[in-house]
């Protein structure tokens, strides 16, 4: 009995998943699969941040890709021009993104949702065009090639990215279950009610915006150090919409849903290569269909299925014990 209860304890399950995650490159051994897993980890990280913003506190940003690009270029330029070690470069990419998010967020987050959505679209576009036009610094439309890599070995890169993702997962989990997180949940459940009990919505939204910008910046920096290519299209609205899509399909405001959606959506279009050119079309169709038929996302649906099956297993165990 003790073995079973240990096996089904949360601690064991998470530990198992964690070990599996680390050992995955040694099990799969296919370079292409590891490449996909690295991209998955980066997108999961950024989506988790975005979920804090949109899923919990509500402002819809269409410009997160701007932070991806800002983080990417900051880190690349620091590492290339000032030979800063790349972990520090990544961190400063994230910090830079966070600072700019604060500058944009302070005036704009006071306003209601549509304003914010419009401004962030503009912010993403302006960032992209600034990068294209500021050729002396950013290399213009062709971008910067030969960005220094994180590690020479793919496996090592994967393990690093995975560990960072896990760390960020833990931190955001702590945030969600802390005092701040309770405020986030209160805002998610009812804005007016939260305000009436003294939660300053604007400040919490700003905080979530800064956190998500930081994570996008770090993720963008990771992406360019991994792909070794830094280009203006990192700030394009398509990347921003990816984040919106993953969050909305996974279920905004659920902790795991958006991460799972990010994982699946990064993996599947690559596995089924024939989708190729139709990817944005497919994303558009999925987005419209999910919003109309399951506006709370697929996360809650899976969660109820999951808890139902857990309950069933438990009842089976009980029956056996008797």
Partner 1 sequence: MELLVQQLANGLMTGSIYVMVALGIIITLNVLHVANLAHGAFVMLGGFVTYFLMSNHGINFFVALIVSFIVVGMFSVVVEKLVVRPCRIKGLSILVASVALVGVAFIIDELASLLWGLDPQLVTVPFGGQPIVIWGIHLSVLRLVIPFIGIVSIILLVLFIYKTKMGRALRAVAQEQEAASLVGINIDNTMSLGFAISCGLAAVGGGLLVQMIPIYTHIGLALIFKIFAIVIIGGLTSLPGAIATGYLLGIGEAMVSGYIGTGYRELFFFAAMMLILVIRPSGLLGRPLLR
218 versus 245: smaller Cβ distance to partner 1: 245
25 versus 232: smaller Cβ distance to partner 1: 232
131 versus 159: smaller Cβ distance to partner 1: 131
If binding is defined by CB under 8 A, does position 241 make contact with partner 1?
Answer: yes
What secondary structure letter does DSSP report for 274? G
- For residues 118 and 195, what is the distance between their CA atoms, to the nearest angstrom? 24
CB of 26 to partner 1, least distance (A): 39
Site for partner 1 in 11-50 (CB under 8 A): none
Applying CB under 8 A, the site for partner 1 has a residue count of 40
Site for partner 1 in 198-237 (CB under 8 A): 237
CB of 101 to partner 1, least distance (A): 14
Q: Which residue has the tokens 């009842």?
A: 315
If binding is defined by CB under 8 A, does position 190 make contact with partner 1?
Answer: no
CB of 242 to partner 1, least distance (A): 11
Rg (CA), the chain: 21
| Cβ pair 88, 240 in contact under 8 A | no
- Per-residue tokens: 306: 């999951």
If binding is defined by CB under 8 A, does position 281 make contact with partner 1?
Answer: yes
- For residues 23 and 269, what is the distance between their CA atoms, to the nearest angstrom? 24
Using the rule CB under 8 A, which residue among 20, 295, 301, 315 binds partner 1?
295
Site for partner 1 in 102-141 (CB under 8 A): 104, 107-108, 110-111, 113-115, 117-119, 121-123, 125-126, 129-130, 132-133
Nearest to 205 by CA among 320, 95, 314, 57: 57
Q: What's the first-to-final CA gap in the chain, in angstroms?
A: 12
If binding is defined by CB under 8 A, does position 52 make contact with partner 1?
Answer: no
If binding is defined by CB under 8 A, does position 300 make contact with partner 1?
Answer: no
- For residues 219 and 116, what is the distance between their CA atoms, to the nearest angstrom? 23
Number of H helices and E strands in the chain, helices first, is 15, 2
If binding is defined by CB under 8 A, does position 286 make contact with partner 1?
Answer: yes
If binding is defined by CB under 8 A, does position 291 make contact with partner 1?
Answer: yes
If binding is defined by CB under 8 A, does position 287 make contact with partner 1?
Answer: yes
Range list of H helices, 29-177: 31-50, 64-82, 86-108, 113-133, 135-138, 154-176
If binding is defined by CB under 8 A, does position 283 make contact with partner 1?
Answer: yes
Q: Which residue has the tokens 């955001």?
A: 172
87 versus 269: smaller Cβ distance to partner 1: 269
DSSP string, 180-228: HHHHHHHHHH-HHHHHHTT--HHHHHHHHHHHHHHHHHHHHHHHHHHH-
25 versus 299: smaller Cβ distance to partner 1: 299
- For residues 303 and 130, what is the distance between their CA atoms, to the nearest angstrom? 43
Residues that bind partner 1 (CB under 8 A): 58, 60, 62, 104, 107-108, 110-111, 113-115, 117-119, 121-123, 125-126, 129-130, 132-133, 237, 241, 244, 248, 277-278, 280-281, 283-288, 291-292, 295
């Amino acid at each position: 009995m003790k073995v079973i209860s240990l096996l089904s304890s949360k601690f064991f399950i998470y530990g198992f998943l964690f070990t599996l995650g680390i050992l995955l490159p040694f099990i799969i051994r296919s370079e292409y699969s590891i490449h996909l897993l690295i991209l998955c980890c980066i997108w999961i990280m950024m989506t988790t941040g975005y979920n804090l913003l949109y899923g919990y506190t509500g402002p819809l940003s269409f410009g997160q890709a701007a932070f991806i690009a800002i983080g990417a270029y900051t880190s690349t330029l620091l590492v290339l021009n000032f030979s800063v070690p790349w972990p520090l470069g990544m961190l400063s990419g994230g910090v830079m993104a966070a600072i700019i998010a604060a500058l944009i967020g302070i005036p704009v987050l006071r306003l209601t949702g549509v304003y914010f959505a419009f401004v962030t679209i503009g912010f993403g576009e302006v960032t992209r065009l600034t990068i294209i036009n500021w050729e002396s610094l950013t290399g213009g439309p062709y971008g910067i090639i030969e960005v220094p890599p994180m590690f020479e070995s793919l496996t090592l890169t994967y393990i690093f990215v995975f560990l960072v993702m896990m760390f960020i997962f833990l931190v955001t989990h702590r945030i969600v279950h802390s005092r701040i997180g309770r405020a986030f949940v209160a805002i998610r459940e009812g804005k007016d009610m939260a305000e009436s009990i003294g939660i300053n919505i604007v400040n919490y939204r700003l905080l979530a915006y800064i956190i998500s910008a930081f994570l996008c910046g770090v993720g963008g920096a990771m992406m360019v150090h991994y792909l070794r290519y830094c280009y203006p299209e990192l700030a394009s609205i398509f990347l921003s919409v990816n984040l919106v899509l993953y969050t909305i399909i996974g279920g905004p405001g659920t902790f795991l849903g958006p991460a799972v959606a990010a994982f699946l959506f990064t993996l599947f279009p690559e596995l089924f290569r024939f989708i190729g050119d139709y990817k944005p079309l497919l994303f558009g169709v999925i987005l419209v269909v999910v919003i109309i038929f399951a506006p709370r996302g697929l996360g809650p649906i899976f969660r109820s299925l999951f808890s139902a099956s857990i309950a069933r297993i438990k009842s089976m165990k009980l029956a056996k014990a008797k």
